[in-house]
Amino acid sequence: MTTSAEKITLIAGNAHRDLAGAISRQLSIPLASAHFGRFPDGEIDLKVNEDIRGTDCFVIQPTCPPVNENIIELLLLLDCLKRASAGRITAVLPYYGYARKDRKDEGRVPISAKVVANTLIGCGADRVLTLDMHAAQIQGFFDIPVDHLYAKPVLLSKIRALEIENPMIVSPDVGGIKMARAYAKGLDNCDLAIVDKRRISGSQVAVEHVIGDVEGRNVIIVDDMISTGGSITEAARIVRSHGARKVVLAVTHGVLVGGAVEKIDAAPIDKLLITDSIPPQARMPRCAEIVSIAPLIARAIANIHRNESVSSLFDECPV
């Protein structure tokens, strides 16, 4: 007989039901029954239909577009569980929205990532599980445990399966060097190059040059996210112009807004590997292949529930 202290409950918002379902199947634990409705003015009305008193609750809700809608739904779920006397509440955010503003880079601006962190804690989160934050230092905004996973083992497994000859890892900007170096190490310490860019605006970049020799190499450009696609498609063009043979993109979060799909389709890209941390768009780039993070998230949830190491998942690929 399972006691309430041993019981695990999975609850999914509406941001990504397919991913939540895949995680549920990996764990062989059904998603808890919940009602999601609307008041006449559009406000969210929800109720969890099961007794969760004293249970270990995991709320699966990436804060992807529509960001504000999904964040509010997550906050209401957290408050609901706290008031229903859940034993422990873990907010599972495969994609953490509002992560771009992690500091005051000019006067009279908010630190949006900190606001979200404070609000998650205030609404009842005891722990956060997330994947490839846009700025890893956001973990420091929380005074509760944060388990920060990386999609690297999942994407690396798929990259190896492609059997790319003479590979070279490329970072699309200086800020991504640490991630790129980790991928290069995972591919038997293959060579690394960096695209030097200058950002003009939130959607425009000017690529200056490439640090490293990509001529004749099969290039793998790695990044944490594609938003408008301007940065990474320009990186693809410049490595091609410097003699790269093939260009493969390996990206964690496919936000894909502002004409990103069209930009990728028009760019000299042979393949795009992208995880399902965000629901796929109705129209995806022709070269896109979805790689599921459900096994990774499921293993992390199981380890957290059993009070086992999560860092053991940083370099292995759960299957």
DSSP string, 70-98: HHHHHHHHHHHHHHTTBSEEEEEESS-SS
186 Cβ partners below 8 Å, 6+ apart? 152, 153, 156, 315
* Residue 318 located in a structural domain: no
pLDDT of residue 4: 43
Same domain, 95 and 41: yes
pLDDT of residue 247: 98
For the chain, what is the domain count?
A: 2
**What tokens appear for 319 in the block?**
């299957």
pTM comes to: 0.93
pLDDT of residue 173: 87
Same domain, 35 and 97: yes
Segment 71-113, tens digit of pLDDT: 999 999 999 999 999 999 999 999 999 999 999 989 999 999 9
Same domain, 9 and 146: yes
Domain that holds residue 33: 4-150+295-313
**What tokens appear for 127 in the block?**
């722990």
Same domain, 144 and 158: no
Same domain, 141 and 239: no
Per-residue pLDDT averaged across 181-186, rounded?
95
Segment 61-74, tens digit of pLDDT: 999 999 999 999 99
Give the confidence band of 312 by pLDDT, cuts at 50, 70, 90: confident
CA 182, 186, 274, 311 torsion-angle sign:
negative
pLDDT of residue 1: 35
Asked whether residue 216 carries a pLDDT value surpassing 60, the answer given is yes
* Residue 145 located in a structural domain: yes
Instruction: State the CATH number of the domain containing residue 308.
Output: 3.40.50.2020
Please say if 197 is a catalytic residue.
yes
Same domain, 141 and 190: no
Asked whether residue 167 carries a pLDDT value surpassing 60, the answer given is yes
Cβ proximity of 47 and 34 under 8 Å: yes
**What tokens appear for 221 in the block?**
């450009």
Same domain, 99 and 178: no
Give the confidence band of 121 by pLDDT, cuts at 50, 70, 90: very high
Same domain, 8 and 142: yes
* Residue 186 located in a structural domain: yes
Give the confidence band of 160 by pLDDT, cuts at 50, 70, 90: very high
Give the confidence band of 204 by pLDDT, cuts at 50, 70, 90: low
Same domain, 278 and 254: yes
Asked whether residue 200 carries a pLDDT value surpassing 80, the answer given is no
pLDDT of residue 318: 53
Same domain, 49 and 159: no
Per-residue pLDDT averaged across 271-292, rounded?
97
Per-residue pLDDT averaged across 208-220, rounded?
92
Asked whether residue 12 carries a pLDDT value surpassing 70, the answer given is yes
Give the confidence band of 209 by pLDDT, cuts at 50, 70, 90: confident
* Residue 175 located in a structural domain: yes
More confident residue, 2 or 236: 236
- Give me the chain's average pLDDT, please: 93
Asked whether residue 2 carries a pLDDT value surpassing 80, the answer given is no
pLDDT of residue 315: 73
Asked whether residue 316 carries a pLDDT value surpassing 70, the answer given is no
Rounded CA gap, 152 and 156, in Å? 6
Give me the catalytic one of 82, 101, 197, 246: 197
pLDDT of residue 199: 61
Length of the chain as a residue count: 319
* Residue 229 located in a structural domain: yes
* Residue 120 located in a structural domain: yes
Same domain, 302 and 260: no
pLDDT of residue 207: 58
> Which amino acid does the sequence have at 121?
I
Per-residue pLDDT averaged across 44-59, rounded?
97
Same domain, 124 and 187: no
* Residue 168 located in a structural domain: yes
